[in-house]
């Protein structure tokens, strides 16, 4: 491994690197370990399936350089031009796939959010409905391990939109994020509450601990918010993503709190979701009326982007849900490798 570059330091507390799952992700891992450029055939990006393991892991690894980095990897690699060049090519492939999948999707805020404001007539495919009434403790543990890649960085990528908006939208976004980050109390930061949940479930709360077990449909849900957060041109889509999460969170959290209580998962496991029932019900109103309303008042041309961000979130969550339910219905793990028994 090369020493840190000029002015750089090696991350001492970042997550550990994982092995690649194909040419692109192996190229990223190899570059981060060696300190050199990523070695890959440029045609591999075109050949890669935008929904599958190799591309999604490569993108996740590249995005993670903008969060906490990786153990023993020079922090200066965040802005390495060779890695950024690969990231641009890979994320363009992902973004094109999303736009292609949603080419006939809703183009207005009203049209995209209306279905989310009512409970589905048929909840049979829902993970939270299943866990509320039928799920077992091992499934709650799997679900928490999977979601840890999002919840242990909860709200982090949404902060990137704050300097890119103004007025009502900025003030409301800051207010919601203030709650997400514990309202000034470290022990109430939502990511910390989720770490406590993981401890109750005998899971390792270390940041990024379950990356190697995470399948592509889960990685895509996390990559989406990083993609939208890192590009100013996609600020409207990031607001749409954030609003979608807040709108759908409260009902699902209520069901998950019941699931944790039914399975005696522990007080911290139940508390995390109970906290989101009330908080996100309030956040939903603020985000819809003030963040979206304020942004559209300032930049009405962003409405289609807001709708796209919400629709892309629903698309990827549906793909992830289908993956989990298909695995569980077949009596097998939804992770790439099962968790150790406790």
Give pLDDT tens digits for 26-76: 999 999 999 999 999 999 999 999 999 999 999 999 999 999 999 999 999
Smallest Cα–Cα separation from 154: which of 181, 186, 130, 133?
181
pLDDT class of 87 with cuts at 50, 70, 90: very high
Tell me if 114 is assigned to some domain. Answer: yes
Residue 285, CA distances (Å) to 246, 281, 333 in order: 9, 7, 37
pLDDT exceeds 90 at position 286: yes
**244 and 295 share one domain:** yes
Residue 268, helix vs strand vs coil: helix
Query: Which range of residues forms the domain containing residue 164?
Result: 109-329
The pLDDT score that the predictor gives to residue 117 is 86
Residue 101, helix vs strand vs coil: helix
The pLDDT score that the predictor gives to residue 3 is 44
Q: Among 3-12, 153-162, 251-260, 278-287, where is mean pLDDT lowest?
A: 3-12
- Helices 23-34, 53-64: inter-axial angle, 10-degree rounding: 30
Tell me if 166 is assigned to some domain. Answer: yes
Mean pLDDT of the 293-306 span: 98
Q: Which residue has the higher pLDDT, 284 or 298?
A: 298
The pLDDT score that the predictor gives to residue 1 is 41
Tell me if 184 is assigned to some domain. Answer: yes
Q: Which residue has the higher pLDDT, 249 or 84?
A: 84
pLDDT class of 9 with cuts at 50, 70, 90: low
Mean pLDDT of the 123-148 span: 95
The number of domains in the chain is 2
**182 and 295 share one domain:** yes
Residue 179, CA distances (Å) to 189, 190, 191, 256, 285 in order: 8, 8, 12, 20, 14
Tell me if 5 is assigned to some domain. Answer: no
Boundary (domain end) residue, out of 75, 101, 127: 101
Boundary (domain end) residue, out of 82, 101, 120: 101
pLDDT class of 2 with cuts at 50, 70, 90: very low
Does residue 39 come out as left (phi exceeding 0), alpha (psi in the -120 to 50 range) or beta?
A: beta
């Amino acid at each position: 491994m090369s020493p840190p570059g000029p002015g750089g330091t090696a991350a001492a507390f970042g997550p550990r690197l994982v092995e690649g799952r194909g040419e692109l992700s192996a190229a990223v891992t190899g570059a981060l370990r060696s300190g050199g450029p990523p070695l890959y055939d440029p045609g591999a990006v075109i050949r890669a399936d935008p929904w599958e393991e190799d591309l999604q892991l490569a993108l996740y690894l590249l995005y993670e350089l903008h969060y906490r980095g990786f153990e023993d990897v020079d922090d200066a690699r965040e802005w390495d031009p060779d890695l950024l060049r690969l990231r641009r090519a890979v994320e363009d492939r992902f973004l094109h796939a999303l736009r292609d999948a949603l080419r006939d999707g809703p183009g207005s805020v009203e049209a995209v959010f209306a279905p989310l404001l009512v409970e589905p007539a048929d909840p049979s495919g829902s993970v939270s409905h299943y866990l509320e009434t039928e799920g077992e403790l091992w499934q709650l543990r799997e679900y928490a391990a999977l979601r840890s890649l999002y919840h242990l960085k909860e709200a982090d990528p949404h902060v990137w939109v704050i300097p890119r908006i103004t007025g009502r939208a900025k003030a409301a976004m800051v207010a919601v994020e203030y709650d997400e980050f514990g309202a000034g109390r470290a022990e109430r930061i939502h990511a910390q509450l989720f770490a406590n949940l993981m401890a109750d479930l005998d899971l390792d709360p270390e940041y990024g601990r379950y990356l190697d077990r995470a399948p592509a449909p889960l990685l895509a849900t996390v990559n989406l918010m990083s993609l939208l957060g890192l590009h100013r041109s996609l600020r409207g889509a990031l607001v749409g993503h954030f609003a979608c999460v807040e709108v759908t969170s409260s009902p699902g959290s209520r069901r998950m709190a019941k699931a944790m209580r039914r399975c005696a998962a522990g007080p911290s496991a139940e508390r995390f979701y109970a906290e989101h029932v009330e908080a996100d019900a309030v956040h939903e109103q603020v985000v819809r009326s003030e963040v979206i309303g304020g942004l559209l008042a300032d930049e009405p041309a962003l409405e289609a982007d807001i709708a796209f961000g919400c629709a892309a979130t629903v698309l990827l969550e549906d793909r992830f849900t289908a993956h989990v339910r298909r695995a569980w219905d077949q009596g097998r793990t939804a992770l790439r490798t099962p968790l150790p028994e406790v």
